[in-house]
Amino acid sequence: MKVYIDGKFYSEENAKISVFDHGLLYGDGIFEGIRAYNRRVFRMEEHIDRLFDSAKAILLTIPMSKEEITEAVLDTLRQNDVSEGYIRLVVTRGKGYLGLSPDRCKTPSVFIIAAKLELYPKEYYENGLSVVTVPTTRTNPSALNPAVKSLNYLNNIMAKVEGKLAGVEEVIMLNSEGLVAECSGDNIFVMKRGMLYTPPIYMGALGGITRDVIIQLAHKLDIPIQEQPLTRYDLFVADEMFLTGTGAEVIPVVQVDGRVIGDGKPGEKSRQLLDAFHHETQNTGTPI
Ligand code: PMP
């Protein structure tokens, strides 16, 4: 594997970042998880835009233009002969010293890893997931907005660990008001009486690229959609539920906190949206 770091490629063993990088010392940095399908990068522009928005929010100046980053991502895929896979694009605050202040971090580091994808088990899609709500709430947007895809993922990791202890693969995270925010690494949708609902981003969620694609596809398929605050009750009584994310794509949920969703099988609209999503991933994107 060849890893891109600041304009050069390194073997996996030699792909190293300083222990004085504030990305490591403080989680001070941002990232993107991107997918390539069928020799194309899916929603590349949207991912690069979100990266630059995250950078702006934390006052980090990315030392490359959007075009240069795009080219570096494509080049990393070509160097690794990956036509179908997962891309991790990271920008750290850079090498500094032990104090919190980023003043001594002169140049942010950009690194890119292109990996073959480890797919989720097929049965998740066929049978649906069981999820639980975890005690750890999603970071309050006034503390660190979850819309920023920062390297500071301890909040999500704690939630994930609580899910593992409860024997589930993904978890529901509430915001500090007790309203549904998102999952540890996915956004949430429910269907109720023919209407699709997802919580607004200001509830404390990442503005998922997959979430946006699903909203666009719902419009295309004439499925009415509303962004609306949701309670756990709204999840319990939903006819269908599914999660969206770059890695997960669209995963149906059939149980929440012991309550069976709909008839306990992945719903029809979820299936329809998953199929439309696959069609989109296979037929659109930036050529590698
Ligand atoms: N929420 C969180 C916390 C995430 O980390 C992710 C990305 N895995 C998502 C939602 C889904 O976003 P996307 O569709 O852009 O992958």
* pLDDT band of 118, cuts 50, 70, 90: confident
Residue 200 CA: distances (Å) to CA of 9, 119, 186, 220: 40, 28, 14, 20
β-pair partners for 9: 4
pLDDT tens digit sequence for 242-275: 999 999 999 999 999 999 999 999 999 999 999 9
pLDDT given at position 116: 87
Helix (H, G, I), strand (E, B) or coil at 222: coil
pLDDT higher than 80, residue 39: yes
pTM reported for the whole predicted model: 0.97
Question: Quick one: pLDDT at residue 119?
Answer: 80
How does pLDDT run across 91-115, given as a tens digit for each residue? 999 999 999 999 999 999 999 999 9
Q: φ and ψ at 273, to 5 degrees?
A: -70, -35
Ligand 1 touching residue 199 (CB < 6 A): no
The total of other beta-carbon atoms located within 10 Å of residue 68's CB is 13
Q: How far is the CA of 13 from the centre of ligand 1 (A)?
A: 29
Q: Phi first, then psi: what are they for 64, rounded to 5°?
A: -145, 160
Let me know: does 286 contact 74? Beta carbons within 8 Å: yes
CA of 98 to the centre of ligand 1 (A): 30
Cβ of residue 152 lying under 6 Å from some atom of ligand 1:
no
Pocket lining: 207 vs ligand 1, CB cutoff 6 Å: no
